[in-house]
């Protein structure tokens, strides 16, 4: 693994200082992982997708966070691999969540090799990263049959993929959001389907989940 990890330091600080809220929790991944109006339609949509594949897909969750979402998808997966860059979070998840088809790994998804899988889940992760980091991840995503991507983006027209440093903030303040199909990422996929759209409690922007199918 390459050091230093500036993104790792950012994420560790977010959890240590509860910058996403949830001060009554040991680890808290924000309202996007806990607010029912956001999580319920997402879980229903992803569960339906996994069931359509007879619960036989190996799922790799990039940025699994506090695992409040992932724990509900385990029964519909052949194997579920939760990945996060924060080592203390991964160690906590290993202790709290147990299943025969579940494993956790501490990896830097920008720099490290990713596990073999049928389906990648990456939920409100890229929005915190720089374009250079996202580009490295996109190159790895091309080999997976399915990608379920969730991003917080503006409503209406916006300029996609304005650059930023890796941080707590997202591109919404720049009236921008991540779109992997547009420059500089140019992810070329066989099929795109919108699974869910929900509004955060502050009504700023929208949280959109897309299913990408790759040519593999």
Tens digit of pLDDT at every position of the chain (216 positions): 343 347 888 788 877 887 777 777 777 677 778 788 899 999 999 999 999 999 999 999 999 999 999 999 999 999 999 999 999 999 999 999 999 999 999 999 999 999 999 999 999 999 999 999 999 999 999 999 999 999 999 999 999 999 999 888 899 999 999 999 999 999 999 999 999 999 888 889 999 999 999 987
Tokens matching residue 63: 């940025």
pLDDT at 17: 82
Q: What is the pLDDT of residues 119-142, one digit of tens each?
A: 999 999 999 999 999 999 999 999
Domain boundaries, the chain: 6-213
Q: What is the pLDDT at residue 28? A: 66
CA distance 33 to 183: 29
CATH of domain 6-213: 3.40.50.150
CA angle 119, 172, 136 (to 5 degrees): 40
Q: Which of 176, 212, 177, 216 is nearest to 194 (CA)?
A: 212
23 token code pair: 């001060």
Q: How far apart are CA 95 and CA 100, in angstroms?
A: 14
Q: Where are the alpha helices (DSSP H) in 57-202?
A: 87-96, 131-141
* pLDDT for residue 22: 77
Cβ(95)–Cβ(75) under 8 Å?
no
CA gap 64, 110 in Å, rounded: 15
The whole-angstrom separation of Cα 216 and Cα 213 is 9
Could you tell me the two tokens for 201?
């409690």
184 upstream amide cis, omega within 30 of 0: yes
Query: How close are the terminal C-alpha atoms of the chain, in Å?
Result: 27
């Amino acid at each position: 693994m390459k050091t230093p990890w500036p993104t790792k330091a950012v994420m560790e600080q977010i959890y240590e200082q509860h910058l996403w809220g949830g001060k009554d929790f040991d680890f808290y991944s924000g309202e996007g992982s806990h607010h029912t109006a956001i999580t319920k339609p997402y879980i229903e949509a992803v569960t339906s997708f996994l069931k359509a594949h007879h619960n036989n897909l190996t799922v790799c969750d990039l940025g699994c966070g506090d695992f409040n979402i992932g724990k509900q998808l385990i029964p519909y997966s052949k194997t579920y691999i939760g990945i996060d860059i924060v080592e203390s979070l991964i160690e906590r998840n290993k202790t709290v969540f147990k299943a025969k088809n579940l494993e956790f790994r501490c990896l830097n998804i920008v720099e490290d090799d990713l596990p073999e899988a049928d389906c990648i889940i990456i939920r409100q992760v890229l929005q915190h990263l720089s374009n250079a980091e996202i580009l490295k991840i996109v190159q790895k995503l091309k080999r997976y049959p399915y990608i379920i991507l969730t991003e917080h983006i503006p409503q209406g027209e916006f300029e996609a993929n304005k650059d930023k440093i890796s941080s707590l903030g997202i591109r919404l303040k720049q009236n921008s959001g991540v779109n992997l199909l547009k420059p500089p990422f140019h992810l070329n996929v066989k099929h795109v389907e919108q699974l869910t759209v929900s509004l955060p409690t502050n009504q700023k922007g929208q949280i959109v989940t897309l299913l990408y199918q790759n040519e593999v």
